[in-house]
Structure 1
Amino acid sequence: MDMEGATTSSCFPQPHMERKMSAMTCEIFNELRLEGKLCDVVIKVNGFEFSAHKNILCSCSSYFRALFTSGWNNTEKKVYNIPGVSPDMMKLIIEYAYTRTVPITPDNVEKLLAAADQFNIMGIVRGCCEFLKSKLCLDNCIGICKLTDYYYCPELRQKAYMFILHNFEEMMKVSAEFLELSVTELRDIIEKDELNVKQEDAVFEAILKWISHDPQNRKQYISVLLPKVGGFDGINRLRSAEAYSPVANTWRTIPTMFNPRSNFGIEVVDDLLFVVGGFNGFTTTFNVECYDEKTEEWYDAHDMGIYRSALSCCVVPGLANVGEYTACREHLPGLAQRDEVKHSASTSTLPV
């Protein structure tokens, strides 16, 4: 997560849910701590020792409250070894317990958020989230969004995700983090209704850029990602189709589909490319057709029994009722006939 150039720091006070202390009380107890007077606990982190008062730590952290009052610990115990945190972060945590303010900077925000989450100090968690919201940009929005996978920060996650959607076209051109998205993460982004792009070409460009970053491992996902773009020119749903060669990095026009559609599902079975459901500009559809690259022609497949759009498809091998699926559209003049015509009863009730 890149926040290069962001050098400011912020101090965030406690939220209402933490137990408040008057400014005078905070000042007095902090002076006692710094002087080492009336301290009844020593927090040890990697050989560093921090003297403190149990009541003060308990007042801002349920972690310390449970630690000091647990039946597993003797109430007279004074020294506690705390794992999983650095001395620098523990120093900030203890200072926050006494002053209810904490300096947050681009250099410490991630470690501080992790420490605050560990000790369940919601004031610091909120402060870190507000700081990260204020630093959202094209370079770091994906990293900030991914950070919320590890910590409960729903408002920050929503803010970062909407930033990605609203600035997708610009973000994918400059963000190194974009190239490291998983196929699931990229698919989820480009299928959102809130995705802000001037033309569908921008989404095609983003998909190709992502695939080109690791073509050997990512070209297999073309059939997963391209249907999310849909055949839509901004006015009409389209019948036209193009095929992409990841080896040559080129597109070529192929015969048009029978039905205009966008937001369809797509999958390959026995070297046939199936296009399933979608939206035709007026209604969600249930029809299915498939393309044979060998004959360079489209064929009807057995229609689904349920209207579906913006769907995903997968191949499930080994099911006894899935195996025969295609059927020629014999009544269309000029359509070549296949030597073998198949159909599937399974697609009448289930997605392909």
Structure 2
Amino acid sequence: MVLGQSDSDSSMVVKSSLHLNNAWNSFNECRHQGNFCDVVIRIQDARFPVHRLVLCACSDYFRSLFLGQWKSTDKQEIEIPGVSPRVMSSLLNFAYTGQVTVTSVNVEELLPAADQFLISYVKDKCCAFLKRHLTPKNCIGIRQYARSYYCMRLVEASTRYILHHFEEVSQLSEEYLFLPITDVEQIIRDDRLNVHGEESVCEAIFRWVIHDRRVRLKHLTGLLKCVRLGLLEPEYFMIKVKGNELVMECIAECRNLIKEAMKVVCDLHAHAGIESLPTEENLYNLLLRPRLPIEVLLAIGGWSGGSPTNAIEAYDPKAENWLNVSTLSDNNFVGQSRNLSDIPRAYHGVAYVSGFVYVIGGFDGVHYFNTVRKFDVSTFEWTQELSMMHNRCYISVAVLDKKIYALGGMNGESRLNSGECYDPYLKHWALLPDMNERRSDASATSMEGRVYIAGGFNGQECLFTAEFYESDASVWTRITPMRSRRSGVSIISYHGLIYAVGGFDGVNRLRHAEAYNPLSNTWRNISSMGTPRSNFGIEVIDDRLLVVGGYNGQRTSSAVEAYEETTNEWCLIKDMDICRSALSCCIIRGLPHEIIKKYCLPRDISSHCCVDEENFMNHELESSESDRSDGLFADEEMQQIDNNEVPEEIIVVDDQMGSMEDL
């Protein structure tokens, strides 16, 4: 039988991973049986017969040893100090099997041994174990430990943990009190420091100084210079800082700083806005520069100026300001800027999952969408995802267990009671059981393993009913109805309750809001917003509930309000740049600060603004006729506007009418 003219024509390379596993298993059996062992490792009174070749294969330390001073020696036993028999046994087991057990009991000894014997894989796994077991009480100690063995990734992870949990660390950690001045100053100066207010930073400084008052008092002025003193509440500044006994004791050194800070604090509150103060001077910049946030709110799309928009604005909760990020500067991109905008759409849903923003369904003025667009917040790139099974405008979207739920809406012909669930990892949509109501212009959220949906419009009336879905039971269950009918409502989970805010009851846009307690299955009223609104964005950021934009009954709005549960009060915050309704919002979080800061106002006056000013969208629409027309379209079904005035396909009709332990 002739198969070919040459070996190359008829050859085939065969590779078996099973063969490799069998070989290593055989080596390990020989080790335990004492067969073919050519050296003995002695640790204290314990002796470990091993094969030089195996140790050379997994450790550069043993490779250098056996190919260096032990290359031609006849000595068969090596004594190694500085490691316990238990840990050496673990490392030898790894050398032969590729497996090692890392525990909170052995990790502090295993990591140095892996470092000593240059077994980088085990060292890296020990670092990963310690990273997973960081707590406010041990994070400083773990960082010092990581520095000792040059585990720079663990050092950085510990630093990020300290910055993110600083309030707890400074209050609960005894290790914090023993930090050197350089570390304390480095931490409290960092823009990434996550605190609810600069008052927490002051208290942490005072606690550290008092621990060794005689030695540390001289550092107080330098530490206070790292605090954004201008952002302190006036009463706290006057009593707790200016009047603090530590400050009074070194007033000669502190006087100029306190004097300037007091002027800034008073000016800030007198003018009620950072922008009112002179910002060119370095001192003001240092005293007023806000920290970087750990999360940012994105407001995407909507209906503005009589048509859909693709604008994206970012709310920086620390600076309490909006940034139009439709175009971002990017030095790594040709042209030095990127256009982040995608297809204009309104009445859509938005979901954030694992570093990606998903924009789902909606309407562009002509087409009802079933499409899904995915935005990578790190690379600023848009890609097309698998489309939904149904077109859905006035869609309700929620995220539960990293899956996206798209519920109800309108397909261009009828309101829907169907829902579908998308797995971003499998890239698969699955139909859900039908809801108990047909709902367009409703709103959805998730809490404690359930997806809740409330309100909306069924084609005949605005709804006050609500229900939830449990994936384990795969069934929709009705709950107590809301106290008011609400179409164009927004609901959100916040501090263990479901909040339903604003909307349209068939007659009026609503200011009032209510909260649902799942334990008692009851709704209760909360304080009302300052202005009525429907079809607006809602999210929770910096422990406050924000409502964004919407339609107030006369025009689209750029107004934003914040609600705090502790005071049961609403307050106005900075308006968006763009007036719009039918927008959708999400929170981006869990990202490196290098990415987050792209969506924030620059912190240094010398920094280049990350927004391309020439591409800013100028939407001063509060009093424009185009915005007033949004309101007319919204009430078409109620006021029976002539179909000749409002094209039948204009969907804005539904706009508001229905429309580790301690180591």
Q: TM-score range by the shorter chain?
A: 0.5 to 0.7
List per-residue Cα deviations over 1:129-152 (Å, max 9, x = no partner): 111111111111111111121123
Q: List runs of 5+ in structure 1 lacking aligned partners.
A: 1-19, 263-279, 288-307, 310-352
Matched, 1:242 2:242: yes
Equivalent pair of 1:93/1:116 in contact (CA under 8 Å): yes
Mapped to 2, the partners of 1:286 and 1:106 lie a distance apart of 47
Equivalent pair of 1:211/1:218 in contact (CA under 8 Å): yes
Which amino acid in 2 is paired with 1:230?
Answer: R
Equivalent pair of 1:41/1:53 in contact (CA under 8 Å): yes
* Equivalent runs, 1:207-286 vs 2, <5 Å: 207-233=205-231, 242=242, 244-246=244-246, 256-257=259-260, 282-285=279-282
Match of 1:85 in 2: 83
The Cα of 1:231 is off from its aligned counterpart by 2.4
Q: List runs of 5+ in structure 2 lacking aligned partners.
A: 1-17, 266-276, 285-603, 606-663
* Equivalent runs, 1:320-331 vs 2, <5 Å: none
* Equivalent runs, 1:155-234 vs 2, <5 Å: 155-233=153-231
Mapped to 1, the partners of 2:44 and 2:264 lie a distance apart of 62
Q: Work out the percentage of aligned pairs sharing the same amino acid.
A: 37
Mapped to 1, the partners of 2:127 and 2:283 lie a distance apart of 44
Equivalent pair of 1:200/1:232 in contact (CA under 8 Å): no
List per-residue Cα deviations over 1:278-335 (Å, max 9, x = no partner): xx85124389xxxxxxxxxxxxxxxxxxxx99xxxxxxxxxxxxxxxxxxxxxxxxxx
Higher mean Cα deviation, 123-132 or 72-81?
72-81
Tell me: CA distance 1:179–1:259, structure 2 relative to 1, closer, same or farther (3 Å).
Answer: closer
Mapped to 1, the partners of 2:20 and 2:68 lie a distance apart of 28
Tell me: CA distance 1:36–1:220, structure 2 relative to 1, closer, same or farther (3 Å).
Answer: same
Tell me: CA distance 1:161–1:211, structure 2 relative to 1, closer, same or farther (3 Å).
Answer: same
Mapped to 1, the partners of 2:249 and 2:27 lie a distance apart of 68
CA RMSD, 1 decimal: 3.3
- Which structure has the larger Rg? 2
Match of 1:342 in 2: none
Which amino acid in 1 is paired with 2:183?
Answer: E
Which amino acid in 2 is paired with 1:282?
Answer: T
The Cα of 1:261 is off from its aligned counterpart by 6.2
The Cα of 1:193 is off from its aligned counterpart by 0.5
Mapped to 2, the partners of 1:154 and 1:190 lie a distance apart of 21
Which amino acid in 1 is paired with 2:57?
Answer: S
The Cα of 1:220 is off from its aligned counterpart by 2.0
Equivalent pair of 1:44/1:82 in contact (CA under 8 Å): yes
Match of 1:127 in 2: 125
Equivalent pair of 1:42/1:80 in contact (CA under 8 Å): yes
Match of 2:26 in 1: 28
* 3-state SS in 2 of match to 1:142: helix
Match of 1:152 in 2: 150
Could you state the TM-score of these two structures normalised by the residue count of structure 1?
0.64
Tell me: CA distance 1:176–1:21, structure 2 relative to 1, closer, same or farther (3 Å).
Answer: farther
Choose the corresponding residue for 1:64, options 59, 62, 72. 62
Tell me: CA distance 1:181–1:118, structure 2 relative to 1, closer, same or farther (3 Å).
Answer: same
Equivalent pair of 1:45/1:82 in contact (CA under 8 Å): yes
Equivalent pair of 2:31/2:49 in contact (CA under 8 Å): yes
Higher mean Cα deviation, 87-96 or 54-63?
87-96
Match of 1:40 in 2: 38
The Cα of 1:216 is off from its aligned counterpart by 2.3
Mapped to 1, the partners of 2:163 and 2:142 lie a distance apart of 14
Tell me: CA distance 1:286–1:220, structure 2 relative to 1, closer, same or farther (3 Å).
Answer: closer
Q: Which structure features the higher share of helix residues?
A: 1
Tell me: CA distance 1:21–1:120, structure 2 relative to 1, closer, same or farther (3 Å).
Answer: farther
Equivalent pair of 1:178/1:210 in contact (CA under 8 Å): yes
Q: Which structure features the higher share of strand residues?
A: 2
List per-residue Cα deviations over 1:177-231 (Å, max 9, x = no partner): 1111111111100000000111111001001111122222222221221111132
Mapped to 2, the partners of 1:258 and 1:148 lie a distance apart of 38
List per-residue Cα deviations over 1:243-288 (Å, max 9, x = no partner): 643399999x9783499569xxxxxxxxxxxxxxxxx85124389x
